[in-house]
Each structure stands twice: as C-alpha cells, then as structure tokens.
Structure 1
Amino acid sequence: MPIYEGTTAIQSNDLIGRKVIRNGGGTVDALVARIEETTARLRMSTHPVAQRTAERLERAVEATRRATASVLSFASAPRDAAAVSVPYLMLLGVLAGGWMHALAVAAVLAHETEGEKDAARLTLADFYGAHHLPRVHALAETVAGGEIG
C-alpha cells in the first residue's frame, strides 16, 4: 500500500520534479522509446499473444504520453503537479509491468519449442495485459485532471 506522506510521496515528487518536469519529459521519452522497440519486435510475430500484448502496450504508451504532457503542463502549477504525482508514479509502474511481460513474450517466442513454463509465461503476460495494463488509461485521466479534476 502506498504511504502518501512518506516514501511514496517522496518518490512520486522526485519523479515529477526531477525526472519529468526538469528535463521536459526526456526520461519518460527514453523509457517509451525502449518500450516501442519491444512492441515493434512483438509486431513481427504472428503469435496472438504477441499481437495482443503489442496492441495493449501501444495504447498504454499513448495514454502515458498524454499523462506526461499533462504533467509538463503543470510545470508552472506546482500544486497540480504534486497532486498527481502518486497517480503518475503508479501509471509508470503499471506500464513498466506491461513492458516486462512484453519482454517475457519476446523471450518465449525466441525459443525453438514452447515448453510448459513458456505457455505459463504467455498466459501471465496476456492476463496482465487484459486485467492490469488498462489501469494506465484510468490513471492518465486522473493525472490530466490536476489538483481539482
């Protein structure tokens, strides 16, 4: 559970202030570029889990871009930026989880034959993409609302 006036707040405010606003979103742009490399690799596969994972991750990346633009628009409104720092931190955490599952899918598909553990990894990635990754979209809406919404 988040500790809003403790570690979570410290990390989220550092993320917003030093890693997003201060460099104009460059850190997030670099992260997104790496995620897009992974989705491009998945798009080359005809495997249905690879295709679904890439599609879901691409949509989550777009929501992340919108959320990051919102954060950057709050550069002159520190209360708005602070108010959405925890949802933004959570958004990036969920996105990173989706990316890690996408990397697992790419690794599994690189195997010559699919083993029992490989099938489980594909199932987990598909589940995460369907049940957890959509949270990025809701969190992006929260971020866009700023302090008041």
Structure 2
Amino acid sequence: MFAIPFAWAGPASHPAIAGTPLTVTIAAQDSALFNAYNHCDLVTFARYIAPDIEFYHDKGGLTLGRANMVESIRHAICGKLRRELMPGTLEVYPIKDYGAVEIGEHRFCELSTGRCDAVGRFIHLWRYRNGSWQLSRVISYDHHKETASPG
C-alpha cells in the first residue's frame, strides 16, 4: 500500500488542480487500485478497499463489504473488462479529518473486442487512516455507450 503523505499545497491553491500533493496522491491510489483491478490481482485490489465499503452502481445496485466487492470484480470484471480514467476529468478535494473525494469519468474496454465505448462517472471517497488510504464509498453512475460525434 502506498504511504504517500496526506498533505496539499497552501491555502491559496485550489486542491483539485492537477499536480497538487493531494491530487498526486489520490491519482496514484486510483492508478494502483485499477492496475490491480485490470489485472485481476484481487489480493492487491482488496488492500485498497475498506472492510465497510459501500458501492452504489446505477446498473448493478448496492454492494456492501470488501468480500462482496472483491467477488463482484472476480465475477463481472476479471478477464472481461479494463477500466481507464478519462484524461482531464480527475478532480480531488480534501475531506477534513477523513481523507479525500475523487471525482472523474472513466471508460471500460472489452478485452474480447478491444472496444472502449462504455463510459461512466464516479465519485470515490478515500479514507486516510493509520498511514494508508482505502476506498470507503463509491458512487458509479451515468454508464452508457459512448457514441462517435458527427464529423
């Protein structure tokens, strides 16, 4: 698990601006979490998930608890999909005495076809405790097929 310090730039800077320490930290957490997700490394993936996770998905409903989340990934994702963060969409904001909220958009690529046309939005609540970050709440919504814009 990353032990990146929980800090961000001074009060004059906006915490969601790319490159601030908090944004860099959460972007690294997102990258590590989804590297494990994409490679079906469920042991590593589980380390980033809080035991009491609440995962709200517009299409799949509610998943409660780390074990259920890991099993859901094993069943629905492993060998089927790859998740990619959409460039330029990441926003990170501090949550006092808790951690941070991460907001962004992602796309999913079907491994069998290579098609990356499924997109959605997410809100991740990251808890910082005992020197490490864990994902404690997720709202994943607005999932749809991306359509090519008329050229």
TM-score scaled by structure 1? Answer: 0.30
* Higher RCO by CA contacts (8 Å cutoff, separation 6 or greater): 1
Between structure 1 and structure 2, the one with the greater Rg is 1
